[in-house]
Amino acid sequence: MDDTGGDVVAARHARILELARGTGSVSVEELATELGVTPQTIRKDLNALAGRSMLSRVHGGAIVTSGVDNISYTERRAVATGAKAAIGRAAAALIPNGASLFVNIGTTTEAVAIQLTGHRDLLVISNNLNIVDILDGHETIELVVVGGRVRRGDRAVVGPLAMDFIRTFKVDYALIGASALDSDGSLLDFSVDEVQVTQTIVRNAREVILVADASKVGRPAPVRIGRLDMVNYLVMDRLLDPSLRAACTEHGVRVIETG
């Protein structure tokens, strides 16, 4: 029989949150095995945590966010770090030397930027000041910083000035992230300002590489960036949602899974 005492439940909840924050998402079956309780107990735990706005329930498990507000930039940096590093290596391998590219805001795009430091003769245009910090000092990479209003929480440059600046260029690649991917192929985010900048980036690039870890699939977010028909490559750690995979096939998106 499962332990249901208050202290035991509190300790289990703390462990669930620790695991969720480490990977971005948790599944009922994996938690049941990890914690030695039944799936029914885990479902009750996840429902209780979701009721306290500490997790959001998705089919088969939970993710670390609400449907309206994104978690903080600092927390996002700590989610799925291993998966993001692998995604970064795979996405960077798609960028040839001598290319021009936009890179937008996001902790996963920052993981790609780390892997671009060995490239030569790149032109990188970014509205993400964290990307500028990562690539600054590499003599074979020319950096262009998008002008506009700086959002203090994550150092993103957003707003109409940023969009006008981006329209000045036409580049080889857009390297973008998204806060959520819906099963129907929708790309979603939390900020209208950020979405408008991302849409402008996509319209002014010849090919689009979308990077996202598996916790983004099925996550609720209220603002639509667009659909998969705007994307050429989707680089993920794993893609388990059959509907999303079918949408990728329908729109000719090449899926690269890093495992």
Give the per-residue SS3 of 140-205: CEEEEECCCEEECCCCEEECHHHHHHHCCCCEEEEEEECCEECCCCEEEECCHHHHHHHHHHHHCE
Place of tokens 């040839």: 96
Place of tokens 């929480």: 153
Domains and CATH numbers, the chain: 6-63 (1.10.10.10), 73-257 (3.40.50.1360)
pLDDT at 177: 95
pLDDT in tens, 71-97: 555 666 656 678 899 999 999 999 999
CA 227 – CA 74 distance, rounded (Å): 28
Closest-CA residue to 119 (of 95, 84, 153): 95
Please state the length of the chain: 259
In whole angstroms, how far apart are CA 103 and each of 24, 114, 117, 168?
A: 22, 12, 14, 15
Whether the predicted pLDDT of 1 surpasses 50: no
pLDDT in tens, 102-155: 999 989 999 999 999 999 999 999 999 999 999 999 999 999 999 999 998 889
In sequence order, the 6+-apart residues with CB closer than 8 A to the CB of 30 are 61
Q: Are 113 and 102 in contact (CB under 8 A)?
A: no
Residue 181: count other Cβ atoms within 10 Å of its Cβ: 28
In sequence order, the 6+-apart residues with CB closer than 8 A to the CB of 96 are none
In whole angstroms, how far apart are CA 157 and each of 14, 17, 109, 246?
A: 36, 31, 15, 34
Q: Which residues pair with 25 in a beta bridge?
A: 63
pLDDT at 35: 95
Closest-CA residue to 241 (of 186, 178, 175, 190): 186
Q: What angle do CA 180, 62, 195 make, to 5 degrees?
A: 15
pLDDT in tens, 157-196: 999 999 999 999 999 999 999 988 999 999 999 889 999 9
pLDDT at 80: 65
Q: How confident is the model over 225-235, as a mean pLDDT?
A: 97
pLDDT at 108: 93
